[in-house]
């Protein structure tokens, strides 16, 4: 797929991977509808794109609010007669054990609201345009953490796996009508999101530029999945030998977190 002239809706484009993806997609000639809450940050990204001759429009929206999602989708549909792709990238991550979440069911509700329900709502709003056009692509951003049995991210991982499941259903129902989906399984990426976890300071991470390249690949080539080989191996192993893999991974993550904590304490 040539990206030149394609109109792409990109949520979570005011920082991190989404911001970088906006620049890379624009460099390839795509026209960007930038969606996030912080208007000033979105304007900063749009200005950087326009300075280089690209096209970008800013759609401030709190994706946690259904009414805000509806209004945002309406504004985009009104302004753009053709939409080629939607990238559901905005998300919130929570690193907290289930033990520490016993009185925090709202963690699960908030996470599923933004990471899953808002992405579904926006997709459902844009889908009629894709059906009318006979083409369209939805990229849903997930995490390598859903390819392994990882502790401390139960609310976040469940929300991402729900989104993966929705992607699969979309493909099953619409692929023959020219509407396709990609799930992107990022490993840890150095962004404001991952930087909120102090012990990750010394962990090796993917660069935001490389991660943005995965989104470009997803929009351009439209594969069903963009993942690291390690992630794919994790999925295969988990499907084939769930008990063995789950048992083997538990001490690995305890040791890793201890190593990262010790390293952080040393400065």
Ligand X SMILES: NC(=O)c1ccc[n+]([C@@H]2O[C@H](COP(=O)([O-])OP(=O)(O)OC[C@H]3O[C@@H](n4cnc5c(N)ncnc54)[C@H](OP(=O)(O)O)[C@@H]3O)[C@@H](O)[C@H]2O)c1
CB distance 54 to 25 below 8 Å:
no
Q: How far is CA 48 from CA 22, 52, 122, 201, 264, in A?
A: 10, 7, 26, 29, 35
Task: Please say which residue, 15 or 181, places its beta carbon nearer to ligand X.
Answer: 15
Output the six-digit token pair for 3: 């990206």
Q: Does 188 bind ligand X (CB under 6 A)?
A: yes
From 24-32, 61-69, 119-127, 231-239, span contacting ligand X (CB under 6 A):
61-69
Choosing from 1, 5, 38, 233, the residue that interacts with ligand X (CB under 6 A) is 38
Q: Does 55 bind ligand X (CB under 6 A)?
A: no
Active-site residue, selected from the candidate residues 23, 156, 200, 252: 156
Q: Positive or negative, the Cα torsion across 8, 155, 121, 40?
A: negative
Q: Does 181 bind ligand X (CB under 6 A)?
A: no
Q: Indicate the length of the chain as a whole number.
A: 267
C-beta of 233: minimal distance to ligand X in Å? 17
Identify residues 96-135 at the interface with ligand X (CB under 6 A): 114
C-alpha to C-alpha distance for 87 and 119, rounded to whole angstroms: 9
Identify the residue whose tokens are 């890379």: 24
CB distance 28 to 3 below 8 Å:
yes
CB distance 20 to 44 below 8 Å:
no
Total number of residues binding ligand X (CB under 6 A)? Answer: 30
Q: Which residue(s) pair with 140 in the sheet?
A: 88, 183
Is 252 a known active-site residue? no
Choosing from 8, 10, 17, 155, the residue that interacts with ligand X (CB under 6 A) is 17
Task: Please say which residue, 89 or 180, places its beta carbon nearer to ligand X.
Answer: 89
Q: Does 63 bind ligand X (CB under 6 A)?
A: yes
Footprint on this chain of ligand X (rule: CB under 6 A): 12-18, 36-38, 41, 61-64, 89-93, 114, 141, 143, 186, 188-189, 191-194
Catalytic residues: 156
């Amino acid at each position: 797929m040539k990206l030149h002239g394609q109109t792409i809706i990109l949520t979570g484009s005011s920082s991190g991977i989404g911001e970088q993806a906006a620049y890379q997609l624009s460099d390839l000639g795509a026209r960007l509808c930038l969606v996030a809450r912080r208007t000033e940050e979105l304007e900063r990204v749009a200005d950087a794109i326009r300075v280089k001759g690209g096209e970008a429009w800013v759609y401030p929206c709190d994706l946690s609010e259904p009414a805000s999602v509806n209004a945002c989708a309406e504004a985009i549909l009104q302004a753009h007669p053709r939409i080629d792709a939607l990238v559901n990238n905005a998300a919130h991550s929570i690193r907290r054990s289930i033990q520490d979440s016993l009185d925090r069911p709202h963690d699960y509700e908030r996470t599923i609201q933004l990471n899953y329900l808002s992405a579904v709502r926006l997709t459902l709003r844009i889908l009629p345009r894709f059906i009318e056009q006979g083409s369209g692509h939805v990229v849903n951003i997930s995490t390598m953490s859903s390819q392994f049995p990882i502790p401390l991210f139960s609310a976040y991982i469940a929300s991402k796996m729900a989104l993966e499941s929705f992607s699969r259903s979309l493909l099953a129902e619409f692929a023959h009508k020219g509407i396709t989906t990609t799930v992107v399984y990022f490993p840890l990426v150095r962004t404001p999101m991952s930087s909120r976890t102090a012990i990750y300071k010394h962990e090796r991470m993917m660069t935001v530029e490389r991660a943005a390249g995965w989104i470009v690949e997803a929009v351009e080539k439209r594969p069903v999945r963009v993942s690291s080989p390690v992630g794919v191996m994790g999925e295969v192993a988990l499907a084939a030998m769930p008990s063995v893999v789950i048992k083997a991974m538990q001490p690995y993550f305890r040791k890793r977190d201890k190593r990262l904590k010790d390293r952080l304490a040393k400065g």
